[in-house]
Amino acid sequence: MSETTQGGTSGGQTTPLNYSLSVNDIDYPVVADVGASLLSVLRNNIGLTGTKEGCDDCECGACMVLLDGRPVNSCSFLAAQAQNRTVSTVEGLAEAAGLHPLQQLLLDAGGVQCGFCTPGMLMSARALLDSNPQPTEDDIRIGLSGNLCRCTGYDSIVAAVQEAAVQLGDSAS
Ligand code: FES
Ligand code: FES
């Protein structure tokens, strides 16, 4: 029998699904309801609480993670549909040498105040720079448009991403 079993209902009871998720290059076994969101499984089953729950309605971006390198709102994505794909969260962003340049520059620029938007903002910025290593300011504002920040006014965040693009470009050349 396959390790992944389909859940169902019996007498009004929901049978959990058993599967595994690859998160930050680690395979985690998961037992969760068929309707469990990726956000819920990351936080409550796997214990990776860096990804935040804000609106729980695909509006704020606090829950943003990367799925096969593309940003998704994990509050509105079924965890079971992330099987056989790669999930990246903020916990995987730091490097052996320390904080990822995006993290350090966001701190340096004052782009972290309450910090609630920060994990999602970082993941969207990461996806943006991976797909567009030399973004214009407009590219950055559009790339981060799914991430709401109540604290900073965005300018410091945009500046940090601009500087990260420069530093990452220099280190790649
Ligand atoms: S918590 Fe997912 S978009 Fe707001
Ligand atoms: S730093 Fe508070 S919401 Fe962005």
- Is residue 4 in a domain? no
Ligand 2 mutation target, pool 113, 124, 155, 156, most atoms within 8 A of CB: 113
pLDDT at 13: 66
The pLDDT mean for the chain works out to 93
For 74-93, the pLDDT digits (tens) are 999 999 999 999 999 999 99
pLDDT at 97: 81
> Who contacts 100 (Cβ-Cβ below 8 Å, separation ≥6)?
93, 94, 122, 126
- Is the pLDDT score of 1 beyond 70? no
Residues 84 and 105 in one domain: no
For the chain, the maximum distance between any two Cα atoms, rounded to a whole number of angstroms, is 62
pTM of the entire structure? 0.92
Position with higher pLDDT, 119 vs 97: 119
CB atoms within 10 A of CB 22: 15
CATH number of the domain where residue 57 is located: 3.10.20.30
Q: Of 73, 92, 111, which residue sits at a domain end?
A: 92
Q: Which-ligand-closest: CA of 116?
A: 2
Ligand 2 mutation target, pool 59, 116, 147, most atoms within 8 A of CB: 116
The residue range of the domain holding 154 is 101-172
Backbone angles phi, psi at 108, to 5 degrees: -60, -35
Give residue ranges with CB within 6 A of ligand 2: 112-117, 149-152
Q: Which-ligand-closest: CA of 119?
A: 2
- Is the pLDDT score of 120 beyond 70? yes
- Is residue 146 in a domain? yes
pLDDT at 172: 78
Residue nearest to atom 4 of ligand 2 (CA): 149
Q: Of 69, 92, 115, which residue sits at a domain end?
A: 92
**Mean local confidence (pLDDT), 106-132:** 98
- Is residue 3 in a domain? no
pLDDT at 150: 97
**Mean local confidence (pLDDT), 146-150:** 98
